[in-house]
Amino acid sequence: MADGASLQSFMQSIPLFELVQPEQMMDILRLLRPVTFEPGQVLFHEGEPGTAFWVLGPEVEVAFSTTPKGGGRPVVVAYARHGETIGEMALVDSGPRSATATVIMGGPAHQINAVDFAVLREGFNPAAYKVLRKICMDLCTKLRATDNRIVPPSGEVISAPPLDAKPLSSPAVLDDFPPFRSLPQVVKLALAQKLKLVETDGVAPVFGEGAKGDAAYFVVDGEVTVGRSGKTLASMGKGAMFGMVAVIDNGGRSASCVTAGPARLFKLEQEEFDLLFQTGNRFAYTLVDLVARQLVEHVRGANALLPPPGQGPARPIRRPIDPKPRLPVTMDPVGAAAGEEELEVLPLYLEL
């Protein structure tokens, strides 16, 4: 594969890097390690931790196979070829590989080690977080497709009248949401200009199933219930966040959210989140990092529910609903200790 300008042009043409600006691409190019694949070479085995990611060069072809849970011969489930990427979930976490990758046709490729990419993440490098956001968008597409195979969508669009939202009275109001208390004052000042306050006197719809996602919400006081097809799936209380996934990938809502009574919510509109993200706000980067980790976990879980090709329909979802899952993720944008309060996030399979 050529070096210099041609390599940068090639990398820019790859969908995973489409959000990275040309002037930021050099930070990614520095991580690339040229490698040569040989036919029959196994890049990784199903179940082993992810440690690297590859961009495939000319003539390279890689097959992905899984072994049925009851044993038997591995089944090829997908192929990757020139210009495609493999193993990108290793850039998010070191979780187990969902398949075995075997080289069918050899040739050149470029490798990025997960530990090297993690250095960019820890430094809040814009290029790294644009790659993470694109991974989120791709994972959302995969998860929606997988969920649709498990539970076919209803196709309904439930409309909800917009709730009144007003500017925050002062940055001090942010302390009413526990995970925001540890944020530096300069970050609070920026957030206070982007967030809006939504207040309800009783039961009120926040958004409806099937609607386009246009904002994320943070529960300051009260309770919000989540429902789909007329059934209540979960409830969320103070300290919960919901609706973030649709903001990141511009997707739709697959569940309805309704306040169960009087409530106060912070609203982060998609345009405001995009502005924070594009200007390198570390709070926005932290949210993308959090959602990426959750998406990877749920994609793996959803894939586990699918049978091998040709072996019947997917198994029904039997996942317990945890209304307030806690994540080991700090909301401190400079990486300080999380403290006593952590962000509670709606399980993303409810959001998707």
- Kindly report which listed range (218-227, 247-256, 335-344) carries the lowest average pLDDT score: 335-344
If you write DSSP's letter for every residue of 6-57 in order, what string do you get?
A: HHHHHHHTSGGGTTS-GGGHHHHHTT-EEEEE-TT-EEE-TTSBP-EEEEE-
State the pLDDT at residue 155: 64
Q: What pTM did the predictor assign?
A: 0.76
pLDDT classification of 37: cutoffs 50, 70, 90: very high
Averaged pLDDT for residues 253-263: 90
Region 293-316 average pLDDT: 63
CB 94 within 8 Å of CB 51? yes
The mean pLDDT value for 114-122 works out to 95
* pLDDT for 340: 36
- Residue found by looking up tokens 């959210």 in the block: 257
For 179, residues 6+ apart whose C-beta sits below 8 A from its C-beta are 239, 331, 341, 342, 343
CA-closest candidate to residue 315, choices 150, 162, 100: 150
Q: How many CB atoms lie within 10 A of CB 58?
A: 12
Q: What are phi and psi of 291, to 5 degrees?
A: -65, -40
Residue whose C-alpha is closest to residue 182's, from 312, 331, 294: 331
Domains of the chain by start residue, with CATH: 4-122 (2.60.120.10), 150-351 (2.60.120.10)
Task: State the Cα–Cα distance between residues 246 and 151, nearest whole angstrom.
Answer: 19
- In this prediction, residue 311 carries a pLDDT of 54
Q: How confident is the model at residue 328 (pLDDT cuts 50, 70, 90)?
A: very low
Return d(Cα 244, Cα 57) in angstroms, integer: 35
CA pair distance 301, 123, nearest whole angstrom: 30
| Mean pLDDT to the nearest integer, 221-248 | 85
Determine the Cα–Cα distance for residues 147 and 123; give it in Å rounded to an integer: 34
pLDDT confidence of residue 52: 96
2 pLDDT exceeds 80?
Answer: no
Give yes or no for residue 17 having a pLDDT over 50: yes
Over residues 129-143, the pLDDT tens digits come to: 999 999 988 888 777
Q: How does the average pLDDT of the chain come out, rounded? A: 81
DSSP characters for 144-180? HHHHHHHS---------PPPPEEE-S-GGGGGGSGGG
Which of 182 and 166 is assigned the larger pLDDT? Answer: 166
Three-state secondary structure call for residue 323: coil
Q: Radius of gyration of the chain from Cα atoms?
A: 21
Q: What is the pLDDT of residue 147?
A: 58
Q: 120: pLDDT confidence band, cut at 50, 70 and 90?
A: very high
Q: pLDDT grade, residue 307 (50/70/90)?
A: low
Query: How many residues belong to the chain?
Result: 352
In Å, how far are 15, 44, 77, 260 from 308, measured between CA atoms? 28, 19, 8, 41
Give the pLDDT score at 229: 72
CA distance 249 to 207: 17
